Amino acid sequence: MSLNPKNTIIQTLQNGMIFIPVDIFATYIMIYLLIPYFLKTRKYLYFALFTIVLGFTTIMLNMLISYFIYIPYFYPEWLPKRVFWQGNYWYYLVATYTVVSFGAGVKLTKMWVFEQQDKKELENQKIRSELLMLKSQINPHFLFNTLNNIDALIEKQPIKASESIIRLSDLLRYVIYNTSYDFVSVQKEEDTLRSFIELSTLRFGKDFINYKSKILDPHKTIAPMLLIPLVENAIKHGDKRVGKPIDIELRVDQDIEFRVINYVSDEHINKDSQGGVGLSNLKRRLELIYPDAHIFEQGIDKQIYTSRLWIQ
């Protein structure tokens, strides 16, 4: 097709409709064959080669339509002077590849969007799988430590051991039925924390832990089992000979702040007092669930070990 300066815009568009099948053919080949099988699979040499072949093919098809349909129908007076190979090859190529480029752009954009969605879904699946794995590690670790405490009471203080088993059943009920949820209310988490503290005081005495809480928003949510590992760590590594309690403080309003302070002996200062599996899992879960909305700090100053957790 070539432009006739005497044609109106509407006539030019109507004339151009004859060449649309070539545009459709070339666009179809590009978006359903060349892009998926060569460009997407990074076979760039084949993609470039077949793109050139497709370009020559569209030129030939446009010339065939121009010589046998377009000119005889619209400009029959040109036929005596027209030769088949006579034509504006560059115009044929640009006219068709303008449509092809638009279609390819739409195709590539959709592919990019779908790839980003797939990547996001894979990341979410990975995070969910990792969280499930971490939760599965929390339960036996927590149970192991608690059973050790009860075992120490059975012979010396059987009544306290019985009370401990009741407390443990409450804790296990929470662990079994609530850790399957992504989030629970802070009030539920705090109730479980109290049960755990009471379970610990049955073994070490009422003055072993000093707990304070101020919950202004009990409906605020939190990922389950984030608070107890800090208390476990304080009990495990705390120096029980100093006669000073473990100080625990929970504050909940627009955000959540949890602080645990305990004394450690000289021997624990030089050892790994980071808490092993319990705190390692806690740190990883915080990174996954609250990547940019938490602060977790630990430090020792003059045998005073402080853990602070802040969640937005």
DSSP per residue over 158-212, as a string? HHHHHHHHHHHHHHHHHHHHHTTSS-EEHHHHHHHHHHHHHHHHHHH-GGGEEEE
Query: Would you write out the chain's pLDDT as a tens digit for each of its 312 residues?
Result: 444 444 555 555 555 677 888 999 999 999 999 999 999 888 999 999 999 999 999 998 988 888 777 777 776 776 667 666 666 778 888 888 889 999 999 999 999 998 888 777 767 666 665 666 555 555 565 567 667 777 877 877 788 778 778 877 877 777 777 767 788 899 989 988 988 888 788 777 788 899 999 999 888 999 888 898 898 888 887 766 767 889 999 999 999 999 999 888 665 555 544 455 667 778 888 888 898 899 999 988 888 899 999 998
Q: Do 205 and 307 lie in a common domain? A: yes
Q: With respect to residue 55, please indicate whether it lies within any of the assigned structural domains.
A: yes
- Which one-letter DSSP state was computed for residue 66? I
Q: With respect to residue 152, please indicate whether it lies within any of the assigned structural domains.
A: yes
What span, in angstroms and rounded, lies between the C-alpha atoms of 262 and 247?
Answer: 6
What span, in angstroms and rounded, lies between the C-alpha atoms of 290 and 223?
Answer: 9
Q: Do 262 and 160 lie in a common domain? A: yes
Q: Do 40 and 168 lie in a common domain? A: no
Q: With respect to residue 109, please indicate whether it lies within any of the assigned structural domains.
A: no
Q: With respect to residue 43, please indicate whether it lies within any of the assigned structural domains.
A: yes
Q: Provide the domain count of the chain.
A: 2
Q: With respect to residue 111, please indicate whether it lies within any of the assigned structural domains.
A: no
pLDDT value of position 52: 93
pTM of the full structure? 0.56
Q: With respect to residue 273, please indicate whether it lies within any of the assigned structural domains.
A: yes
How many residues are recorded in the chain?
312
Spacing of C-alpha 84 from chain mean position: 60
Structural domain boundaries enclosing 62: 9-87
Q: Name which of 272, 277, 250, 276 is nearest 261 in CA terms.
A: 250
Of 87, 120, 143, the last residue of a domain is 87
Q: With respect to residue 114, please indicate whether it lies within any of the assigned structural domains.
A: no
Collapsing DSSP states into helix, strand and coil, what is residue 35?
A: helix
pLDDT value of position 118: 78
Of 87, 120, 136, the last residue of a domain is 87
Q: Do 285 and 233 lie in a common domain? A: yes
Q: Name which of 172, 290, 280, 130 is nearest 221 in CA terms.
A: 290
Q: Do 293 and 153 lie in a common domain? A: yes
Of 37, 70, 87, the last residue of a domain is 87
Q: Name which of 143, 228, 223, 243 is nearest 194 in CA terms.
A: 228
Q: With respect to residue 117, please indicate whether it lies within any of the assigned structural domains.
A: no
pLDDT value of position 196: 85
